[in-house]
Amino acid sequence: MLETLPVGRPLVLGREDLGGNPVPDDRCSREHADLSWANGQFVVTDRESRNGSFLDGVQFRGTRTASDGAVLRLAHTVMLLLADLRPYLTRHVTTGEFVIGPRMQEVLDRVVVARQRDSHLLVLGETGSGKELIARRFSEAGERRGPFIAVNCAAIPAATAAQQLFGAARGAYTDARANHEGFFLVADGGVLFLDEIAELDLDVQATLLRTIQSGEVQVLGENTPRHVEVCVVAASHQNLKQAIERGTFREDLYFRLFQSELKVPPLRERREEMPWLMQSVVEAASRTLHASIVEAALLRHWPGNVRELLAQTQRATETAGRQDSAAVRVEHLDVEAGVRRASAPAGATSGVVAAATAAATAPRARPVTGRYESFTREQLEAALQSCGSIAAAARSLNLHRTQLYRLLRTHGLINNDAVEEADGS
């Protein structure tokens, strides 16, 4: 759901009317909170709601201000407060084989243009962010639908990289008792996706460059090269320019692949995808997704991106199953899941204001964060070390700051004076 704030007056958020749309959340009050925009920030006022309002994981009463990218939860309704609505006006989150949000769809649209113009593509992005999805779309956008072969270069032993990529004839080396078709020959007429290409050693990179330039594969043990028509999509999570400076990546290969370059945005810049990604895992286990775990996920960094989110949601779902809980809640999520450093929302580019809503309901919901007493000393120390401050650690643990102070005192990680100061703040 997408809603633009009216100019000059607050938007009343409630169960029966959220910007003109009813919300399927019976825990939300009829008139739960007011939302407005003033002096470059959001202003949220709780209307003495029955089940409370939460801003970035902390419950509040009265009025609070929020910056672009803040997470607002009203009972079981979770919203992203966005200052720039434009990326979402023409594109929405689509589901199916893949969950694709507006920012990812924009990149996929550029893939089609690159496929029409160039025969090779360089994809840069963090681990788990969806680089293979880009490569598959590149393959699908071609006029010819040849094979799509995906290779993780980091998983190929250096000693066998050449023969696995380019092939080897029987007797070409010790123990070569049969002909071995390399990945280039298997991908003939299609697309070869070389993930983590920077992991290949320099000699193999040189052979790869010759193959791409000539369109010919020199199979080990054969005298005559074989002609192939292969489009190469190379990907890396590394900064290849820095790798060139270190002498670990060939500059000429980089510029040969640089016909088109696409950068995949990390998941923390595509947070609108998170509820649907998590829902796909939870539904497969016949359970429901509680708003508290969605809220916690939206507030975390997720250095492993989509791959990490899916894996951690699966673990949380299994934990819920062992506890015979119909809903997967924040207390089922590992305290260290998705935590590396405090995430920073993308900067606003205009004064347009939006609220993107993802509602999730479950029985026996509680208006507070859950059984916070269950956190161990090790979990608390890890959160403090990862986040760098008590405020950030409280957000990552989905706790109020006062709750975290009390836990730190219980485990002997902070003195009583600090807790009294926090209680009075």
Q: Tens digit of pLDDT for each residue in 235-266?
A: 999 999 999 999 999 999 999 988 889 999 99
Tell me if 109 sits within 8 A of 271, measured CB to CB.
Answer: no
**What is the reported pLDDT for 304?**
95
Residue 404's pLDDT band (boundaries 50, 70, 90)? confident
Q: Which of 88, 68, 89, 92 is nearest to 80 (CA)?
A: 68
The one-letter amino acid at 348: A
Residue 362's pLDDT band (boundaries 50, 70, 90)? very low
The two tokens of residue 236 are: 């890396």
- Within 143-234, residue ranges assigned H as helices are 161-166, 183-186, 202-214
Q: How far is CA 93 from the centre of its chain?
A: 14
Q: Distance between CA 268 and CA 366 in Å, rounded?
A: 27
Q: Which of 69, 92, 78 is nearest to 25 (CA)?
A: 78
**What is the reported pLDDT for 344?**
39
Residue 353's pLDDT band (boundaries 50, 70, 90)? very low
Q: How far is CA 210 from the centre of its chain?
A: 36
Q: Which of 253, 257, 252, 251 is nearest to 232 (CA)?
A: 257
What average pLDDT does the structure give for the chain? 83
Find the length of the chain: 425
Q: Distance between CA 109 and CA 112 in Å, rounded?
A: 5
76 vs 356 pLDDT, higher one:
76
Residue 343's pLDDT band (boundaries 50, 70, 90)? very low
Q: Which of 138, 312, 328, 146 is nearest to 233 (CA)?
A: 138
Average pLDDT for 339-344 = 54
**What is the reported pLDDT for 331?**
94
Q: Distance between CA 55 and CA 146 in Å, rounded?
A: 50
Q: Distance between CA 35 and CA 65 in Å, rounded?
A: 10
Instruction: Tell me: pLDDT of 342 over 60.
Output: no
Per-residue CA distances from 111 to 74, 117, 396 (Å): 38, 10, 35
The percent of residues above 90 in pLDDT, for the chain, comes to 57
Q: Which of 396, 417, 324, 319 is nearest to 405 (CA)?
A: 417
Beta strands in 134-245 (DSSP E): 148-152, 191-195, 216-217, 226-227, 231-236
Average pLDDT for 331-349 = 66
Average pLDDT for 127-135 = 95
Q: Distance between CA 241 and CA 244 in Å, rounded?
A: 5
Handedness of CA 416, 421, 424, 425 (dihedral sign): negative
**What is the reported pLDDT for 386?**
66
Q: Distance between CA 367 and CA 25 in Å, rounded?
A: 13
Q: Distance between CA 309 and CA 337 in Å, rounded?
A: 8
Handedness of CA 149, 150, 154, 155 (dihedral sign): negative
Region of poorest pLDDT, from 207-211, 262-266, 328-332, 405-409: 405-409
398 vs 30 pLDDT, higher one:
30
The percent of residues above 70 in pLDDT, for the chain, comes to 84
126 vs 374 pLDDT, higher one:
126
Residue 171's pLDDT band (boundaries 50, 70, 90)? low
Residue with tokens 């900067």: 347
Q: Which of 101, 109, 110 is nearest to 2 (CA)?
A: 101
pTM for this predicted structure: 0.76
pLDDT digits (tens, 9 = 90+) for 83-105: 888 878 788 888 878 899 999 99
Region of poorest pLDDT, from 46-50, 220-224, 302-306, 360-364: 360-364
32 three-class SS: coil
